[in-house]
Amino acid sequence: MMRRALVVVAAFAVAVAVFARGSDPAVPVERPVLTGTTTDIPGLQRAVRGGRSDLRPALAEAYLQRARETADPSYYAKAETVLGTPRTEEAFATAGELALARHDFTRALTWGARAGTIGAPIRVDALVELGRLDEAERELQAMIDRRPNLAGYARVSYVRELRGDLPGAVEAMRLAVAAGGPAAENVAYVSAQLGELERRRGRPAAAKRAFAQALALVPGHAGAELGLARLDAATARAGAAPAAVDSPGLDAAIARLERLVARLPLPEYVIALGEAQLAAGKPAQRTFALVTAQRRLLDAAGVDTDVELAVFEADHGDADMAVALARGGYNAAPSARAADALGWALTRAGKPREGLRYARLALRDGAVDPLWLAHAGLAKAAAGKNGRREFERALEHGLDGWPWQAQRVRRALR
């Protein structure tokens, strides 16, 4: 997964679609004309029911695209069922994408290796999440040399972001937007990512334009709505205390997030809403209760959310549970984001010196993620060191989009 948001999860019951093989072997079934979008699903279903087993990977791929568009993980089970036992490079690649979606990065790398050239994007994503950034860059360069396209440019952008090169990340993401793709959701996704990069560079007008482009392509696009909420929250520039209770910007962010959560109660959006409520001096217990419920549903869909939930538990729940979740996530896939989660969990559990070691691992390649910087500064402060540099850089790179976190950092700066 080159961006967490490429890995899409949500709160829906898991349903398994079972397809009958070959309704009438005497009647040949033609291969439908494929567009690479979810409009292919009905034709592919008919073809597979009619005996075209060679189209099972294409149908599974269409289900994964549908999952990205709807955030419904029941499509993972549908994709797995129709795919069956992979036997071709195309099927290996689809199996790899499914493993990425479920955050099983070791298995994704295995499937990607068997998929040959078409498995390159899967291998890049898996290598990044396994903490093997240098290998990912080499694989990515070969991928771009073979075929520069949206998928390649988006991954270049993320690797540059992890290296702390935000101008380079923006340049690559603009190329991804310009390259386009068969599905509007794909282009909307990279447009929303471009908006977030611009926001973190302190360019709100450019960010707003990119978010608007995403919404024009896919009305209600979740990434764009979240980005606009962060822009709204940043206008509040919340202080050390809940002084922004009457801030129009924070109120607008809360209203936008409430609408988003009502439609798509993903943990990322629910946590953003709860923390915005806390920043405004409002209770958030009922909001945060949704996170636990969502985690159960995601677990049932086979999605590993340990790293994401560890940060939530560290901030709003059980610090010891956070450490256990983060250790499991880091041991399985020692990426920069897993190192940040473990470092923050340890810090919140009263072990800031050990936490600082992992916080530094998260930042060792030059990343300027505002939350990672904030966590590193707070670990430093808890360990009796000066975290001012990390705090200032976190605010410089867009921490105000997380108003509750920004309040905490500004208190520490005082």
- Domain at 392, CATH number: 1.25.40.10
Q: Please, are residues 346 and 381 in contact by the beta-carbon 8 Å criterion? A: no
- Model confidence, pTM: 0.87
Q: Please, are residues 252 and 232 in contact by the beta-carbon 8 Å criterion? A: yes
Q: Please, are residues 361 and 343 in contact by the beta-carbon 8 Å criterion? A: yes
Q: Which tokens hold the place of 226? A: 């979240």
Residue given tokens 């904030």 in the structure block = 374
How many CB atoms are closer than 10 A to CB 13?
A: 10
Work out the mean pLDDT of the chain and round it to a whole number. Answer: 89
Within a domain: residue 252? no
Q: Which helix (H) or strand (E) holds 221?
A: none
The number of domains in the chain is 1
Give CA–CA dist 137/190, Å, rounded: 19
Within a domain: residue 367? yes
Work out the angle between the directed axes of helices 248-263 and 267-279 (0-180°, nearest 10). 150
Rg of the chain, C-alpha, whole Å: 21
- Taking alpha carbons only, the member of 212, 227, 226, 154 closest to residue 186 is 154
Q: Which tokens hold the place of 413? A: 């700066």
Within a domain: residue 395? yes
Q: Give, as one character, the DSSP assignment of residue 202.
A: T
Predicted pLDDT at 298: 80
Residues in the chain, pLDDT under 50: 1-27, 238-245
Predicted pLDDT at 6: 35
Predicted pLDDT at 269: 95
| 100-111 tens-digit pLDDT | 999 999 999 999
Q: Which tokens hold the place of 402? A: 């997380």
Within a domain: residue 397? yes
Within a domain: residue 135? no
How many CB atoms are closer than 10 A to CB 18?
A: 7
Within a domain: residue 178? no
| 73-98 tens-digit pLDDT | 889 999 999 999 999 999 999 999 99
Predicted pLDDT at 42: 93
Predicted pLDDT at 299: 81
Within a domain: residue 55? no
Predicted pLDDT at 5: 37
Work out the angle between the directed axes of helices 166-179 and 184-200 (0-180°, nearest 10). 160
Domain that holds residue 345: 304-414
Q: Give, as one character, the DSSP assignment of residue 71.
A: -
Predicted pLDDT at 23: 36
Within a domain: residue 406? yes
Give CA–CA dist 143/206, Å, rounded: 29
